[in-house]
Amino acid sequence: RAKTAEARAELSALHKALAAERAAAAAAVSKAAEATESAAQREGAARAVEEESREKETRLRRQLAEERGHAEAAAAQREHERREWASLENALESRARALEAELASARESSEREVVAETSASSASAPRRDGKVASVIAEASRFVTA
C-alpha cells in the first residue's frame, strides 16, 4: 500500500507537471499566435502603404507626363505664333519698302511734271495727279496702322 500511495503521489505529481507543461505550451502557442497575427497585421499595413505609394507614384508620373505634354504644346504654339509674327513682320516691311519706292517714284514723276509745267507755264501752280495722291493716302494708312 505504501508503494501504491507513493506511485499514486508520483503519478499525481507527474500529472501536475504535465498539466503545467501543457499550460506553458498552450501559453507559448497563444503567444506565438498573437505574435504571428501581429506580424501579419504589420505586414498587411506595410503592403497597404507600399501599394498606396505605388499608386501615388503612378499618379504623379501620369500628371508629370501630362504637364510635360502641356508645356511642349504651349512651346510649340509659342513657336508657331513667333513664326507667324515674323512672317507678318517681313510682309509688312516688304510692303512698306514697296510703298516707299512707289512714293519716291511718284514724287520724282510729280517733280518732273511740276518742272515741265513750270517750264511750260510759269503762272500755273504745281499740282499732284491722282496716282500720287493715292500712293500718299495708302502710305499714310500704313504708317498709322
pLDDT digits (tens, 9 = 90+) for 87-120: 999 999 999 999 999 888 888 888 777 777 766 6
Tally Cβ neighbours within 10 Å of residue 111: 11
Please give the C-alpha separations between residue 48 and each of 20, 36, 55, 90, in angstroms, as whole numbers: 41, 18, 10, 62
Task: Look over the chain and give the mean of its residue pLDDT values, rounded to a whole number.
Answer: 86
Asked whether 99 and 142 are in contact (CB, 8 A), the reply is: yes
- Mean pLDDT value of segment 116-137: 60
pTM metric for this prediction: 0.45
Q: CA angle at residue 16 from 14 to 21, to 5 degrees?
A: 90
Asked whether 95 and 142 are in contact (CB, 8 A), the reply is: yes
- pLDDT at residue 124, as a whole number: 43
